[in-house]
């Protein structure tokens, strides 16, 4: 998955992706955190760890 994101432009639209951080415009280091990404802009908002919520 990391290799896919490193070699592809991100699709347009509003969606959640499982990433940890950016290096330049590349997604790196999957961690289970969820972020909002809008078109090709930087991550704008942390949402939540859905796995953790499911344990409650």
**Tokens standing for residue 35:** 């972020």
Quote the pTM value: 0.17
- Going by C-alpha positions, the residue among 27, 21, 24 that lies closest to residue 3 is 27
pLDDT of 12 reads 56
What residues does each domain of the chain span? 2-55
25-47 per-residue burial string, b: 16 or more CB within 10 A, e: under 16:
eebeeeeebbbebeeeeebeeee
Q: What is the pLDDT of residues 5-27, one digit of tens each?
A: 566 665 555 555 555 566 666 65
Alpha helices in the chain (DSSP H): 2-7, 50-55
Asked if 34 contacts 50 with a C-beta cutoff of 8 angstroms, the reply is: yes
């Amino acid at each position: 998955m990391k290799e896919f994101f490193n070699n592809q432009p991100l699709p347009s639209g509003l969606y959640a992706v499982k990433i940890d951080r950016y290096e330049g415009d590349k997604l790196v280091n999957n961690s289970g955190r969820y972020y909002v990404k809008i078109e090709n802009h930087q991550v704008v908002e942390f949402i939540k760890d859905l796995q953790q919520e499911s344990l409650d």
